[in-house]
Structure 1
Amino acid sequence: MAKKQTAGRDNLGEFAPQFAALNDDVLFGEVWSRESELSPRDRSMITCASLITQGVPQIEAHLKMAKQNSVTKEEIVELITHVAFYTGWPKAWSAFSLAKEIFDEA
């Protein structure tokens, strides 16, 4: 079962309460919890690939989540290598820098 997310409310709750609620309750509470359709591991792989192609800072949090969802270092390396040809070398380099920090942690 996916861990209850509170990042929306923790970071934006007072400033943008509706967005925070949608983030925590709908995206993570409903979509990510549909484990019979896609496992958290698979959702992490898909999400990381999507975020890498966009070059957005949220990739760091999702790489950490991917590791928690049992995505291996070898799998994330292969994912980044694969998407590099579709999204661009600079985005892959940036993703590798983060992934190396996250997946080389003890």
Structure 2
Amino acid sequence: MNELMGDGYVEKKDQNRNSFNDVIQDYSAEVCFGRVWAREDIDRKTRSIINLAILTALNRPAQLAHHVEGAISNGCTVAEIKEVLLQTAVYCGLPAAGEAFKVAEESLRAGGHLD
């Protein structure tokens, strides 16, 4: 999963694992990362772009922050991420895209991808 989501993702996820949330973490690992991300008909970069747009539309900032770092790990450039988020302004609305830009900027800055 670190390969898809960026360095430290698994370790951070494991730190939050407990007897209550273990079932959803197992589900995520098996279905999301084990089945869907492993499929070969579209590449990881494309999957990352789709996720950025969907998470913006659904207003899921915590997940978006993880997937911004994942998008970088999967070959997206900062410029491509910016364009994806701009595209969401048209179809998801300016408030959703504005929030996504803020979350993405924080994530990119924390990852050392922005000055």
Report the TM-score range of the alignment, normalised by the length of the smaller protein: 0.7 to 0.9
Q: Does the 8 Å CA contact 1:44/1:62 hold for their aligned counterparts?
A: yes
Identity of aligned residues (%): 30
Give the superposition deviation at 1:63. 0.7
Query: What is the aligned length?
Result: 105
- 1:15 aligned onto 2:20: yes
Q: Does the 8 Å CA contact 2:64/2:100 hold for their aligned counterparts?
A: yes
Higher relative contact order (CA 8 A, sep 6+): 2
- How far apart are the structure 1 equivalents of 2:33 and 2:15? 14
Report the TM-score when normalising by structure 1: 0.82
- List alignment gaps of at least 5 residues for structure 2: none
* 2:59 aligned residue: 55
* 1:30 aligned residue: 35
RMSD in angstroms over aligned alpha carbons? 2.4
- How far apart are the structure 2 equivalents of 1:38 and 1:14? 35
Runs of 4 or more, structure 1, over 4 Å off, are: 4-10
Give the superposition deviation at 1:87. 0.8
Report the TM-score when normalising by structure 2: 0.77
* 1:96 aligned residue: 101
Give the superposition deviation at 1:11. 3.1
Question: Which residue, out of 63, 66, 69, partners 1:64?
Answer: 69
- List alignment gaps of at least 5 residues for structure 1: none
Residue deviations 1:66-101, cap 9 Å, x none? 011111111111111111111111111111112223
